[in-house]
Each structure stands twice: as structure tokens, then as C-alpha cells.
Amino acid sequence: MPSSAAPLRIGFVMLHTSPLDVPGTKDAGGMNVVVRAQADALARAGHEVTIFTRRSDPAPPARTVLESGLAVVQIDAGPPRLLAKGEHEGVMGEFGALLDAELQRAPVDLLHAEHWFSGIAALPVARRAGVPLVQSYHSIAAPPESPLTDGERPESPGRLAGERRLAHEVDLVIAVSEAERRTVLERLDGDEDRVRVVPLGVDTELFHPCATRDCEEDRDWFGSGGRPEAIVVGRLHPLKGFDLVIEAVAVLPPDQRPMLRIVGAPPPDGDDYVRALHEAVARHGMLCTTAFDGALRRGELADRIRRAAVMLVPSHSETFGLVALEAAASGIPVIARDAGGLREAVIDGETGVLVAGDDPRVWADALSALLADPDRLAALGRGARAHALTRNWGASADRLLEVYRELLAGARGGAQRETSVVSKE
């Protein structure tokens, strides 16, 4: 067992999405950003970090070194193409066996599984290797009785059961917010003693307020008489609720509508939702004032966000909602749904506004009130930036490391692992 200050060999397991993918495309989103930022910070602190992912593309080499101390290893489980979410369950066993073989060649001190597919695949591997397993869910299945949003596919039957099993069998669960911690306890019947909150960070150098004249000019709608811009960012999935934003903008009289910028690409099974968004824009006569940008790389995305007047985050469910913190770092107020982790990402009245429910008129009121009040926009923008400056990835990775060390010191992990192994027999 490594001493309390020794560098660790940490294995992140990311079965269904690769850290090499651009966030906002395929299945890559907040989880990819979080894992990459925490892995970067841990590698910079001298730890040896390997991210194990399923090969979904024939191109990358078996091992890609991203920086000193940080590598991505492709596990050849299943076909080398993107899988729709429901298909991953069929490759979890093969992925686990191949991961095990990798770890026999190059052991790690600890495994950290991201999303439930990875946790189920890694559980027997961690047991065999005798190392602790930490689980991050990123999102947790809605209870079976909850209604589906239009176009949303039902959860696979195995998901909630798999997530529950992990809550009981892994050594520690990491939640990204108090809201997610409560969901683990309530929905998965998790053990309060084995859940830790590790707050997310934001890159405040990449996401910063306007610092150039042309950017300032873009934001000078009141001076120029142009339209302010409202931006939404994320994978184009029904859970994100971007359709509600289109409906809300449509409620406003045409001359008072902001430009609407929609950034992100659909997940592998998301074409129907994208079609529905385009149709709604056309139906409301908003083609000339709406832009579909597709997925943007981080630098371009940051530039887009800082030029907007306001970001909307109407997601039906969000364990945290990283985009809200990225907007805050850019000095942009956020109008977000009053639910889940968004209540922690946005401080109502200080960094943005929280809105309850699905009535487009209520969202339209919040939007038009804010856009009509430049002083309030500016004050919320300053509050947002100040809030974001209190969050950074270094601190997030330090907290994660504390949790790892706690486990490795045997304060929790050893005993829990023994119980798990015994209860399996």
C-alpha cells in the first residue's frame, strides 16, 4: 500500500465515452470535462493516471500519452464504433476481462469508475486486484414511474439495478453536488457514510469575461440597437430542455426576441430531437434569429459564451450543470431550472435566476425582464464571475485525492471490500 504522501497510480475507467472525444459531441459531455480536468490536475501533482476507455474508433493507438503522467488506454471490447446507450451493457463483461488483463500487466493502486457501465465492469476487476473502487455516477436513472420527456428513450431495465448494486458494493461513491448525494441516498438507498461530495471546478482562464474591443462591441446591444444573445450549450438531448427555450423565446414579440444560439451536437441516438428543435424554430418564424452552431471546441465555446447576454439552462435533470459554472466564469448570468444540482451551480439573485416549471411564459418573463435591465445583467455577471473564481480544478483534485488517501489508509475501503467479497460468496 502506498505511503500517505507517495504518488499514486490511479486508473479512471470510462467505458462508454472517450476522453479523446470533443465534449458536446457523441456521448461526450460534462463527465469528459470533469475526468480530464481532474486527471490533468492529478498528473501535474505527480500521480500516474491512466484512463481506460472502450475503443469506439479504430484510429487511436492502444495507448495515447496526453501529458507527462496521463495516458489513455483503448480497451478493444465490442465493435470499434460508437454504440447507442442500450448497447453498452452487452460489452461490460468483455471490457472488464480485458481491463483485468491490462491491470495484471500494469497494476494501479485504485480504480475510479465513471458512470454505471464502468462501475459494473470494474467491480470484479477491483476485487481480483485487491484495490479500492471509487464510483462517480454523473447521472442517475430516473425512477421507472417518472414520465419521459418527448422523444426520450426509456432507461435500460438494468440501469437502476446496476446503480443500486454499485451504491452498496463499491468502496466509496463520489457525488458532484449535495443534490447528487441526496439522490444516491434516496434513490439508490446508498450508505450516508460512504458518499463524499467532491465539488467541481471551472477553468477561469479559459472561461473569462470579454477582454477585447470587438467582444465588448458584440455585447453593446443597448448602444448599437442590435439584439442581445441568449445561449444554450450541451448535448442536444431531450433532458437538456432546449425545446423549452425555443418556446419561451417564441412567446416574446418578434422585435423583443434575443438572438438564440444553440451549441452542441446530438448523442448517437439523438437525431429525432434535433429535428424537433429545427422544426420548432421554423414553426415560430425564428430561422433568422436562431443559430445552430453544432459542437464547439473549448476555446471557441468560451469565446461564444462571453459574447452572450445570458445563458439558459432549462435541463430537466442535472447532477450539477457544468455549463452554468462556465457561463459564470465568463461573467454571464444564468437563467436555470430551479432543480437538482443547478441550485448549487447558480445562486439565485446573485449569479443568475432560478425558474421553476415548464411554462414557456414564465421562462419568457424571466428572460425579457433580465434583458431589459442592463444594470442587473451587469451586476449578476460580476457576481457570477466572483462566484466562479472560488472554484478551481486544483482544489477539486485535492479533495478527490483526500478521498483516495482516506480509502487507501484503510479507514473505510479495506473493511468494506472484505464485506463485499464475503457477501458475494
Residues lying near ligand UDP in the complex (CB under 6 A) are found at: 23-24, 29-31, 33, 233-235, 263-264, 295-296, 298, 301, 320-323, 326
Nearer to ligand UDP among residue 310 and residue 408 (C-beta): 310
Nearer to ligand UDP among residue 10 and residue 322 (C-beta): 322
All three cell numbers of 421, joined, read 467479497
All three cell numbers of 27, joined, read 456521448
Nearer to ligand UDP among residue 39 and residue 263 (C-beta): 263
Backbone angles phi, psi at 110, to 5 degrees: -160, 145
Q: How far is the CB of 293 from ligand UDP (least distance, A)?
A: 7
Q: How far is the CB of 113 from ligand UDP (least distance, A)?
A: 16
CA atoms within 13 A on the CB side of 287: 5
Q: How far is the CB of 42 from ligand UDP (least distance, A)?
A: 19
All three cell numbers of 407, joined, read 480509502
The enclosing H or E element of 34 equals helix 30-44
Q: How far is the CB of 93 from ligand UDP (least distance, A)?
A: 26
Say how far apart CA 89 and CA 121 lie, in whole Å.
9
Q: What region does 310 belong to: left with phi over 0, alpha with psi -120 to 50, or beta? A: beta
Q: How far is the CB of 190 from ligand UDP (least distance, A)?
A: 20
| Residue pair 93/118 in contact by the 8 Å Cβ criterion | no
Nearer to ligand UDP among residue 103 and residue 142 (C-beta): 142
Backbone angles phi, psi at 24, to 5 degrees: 95, -5
User: Which residue has the closest beta carbon to ligand UDP?
Assistant: 29
User: Burial code of 88-116, b = ≥16 C-beta within 10 A, e = fewer?
Assistant: bbebbeebbebbbebbeeeebbbbbbbbb
Nearer to ligand UDP among residue 100 and residue 178 (C-beta): 178
All three cell numbers of 130, joined, read 485487491
Nearer to ligand UDP among residue 233 and residue 397 (C-beta): 233
Q: How far is the CB of 33 from ligand UDP (least distance, A)?
A: 4
Backbone angles phi, psi at 339, to 5 degrees: -160, 155
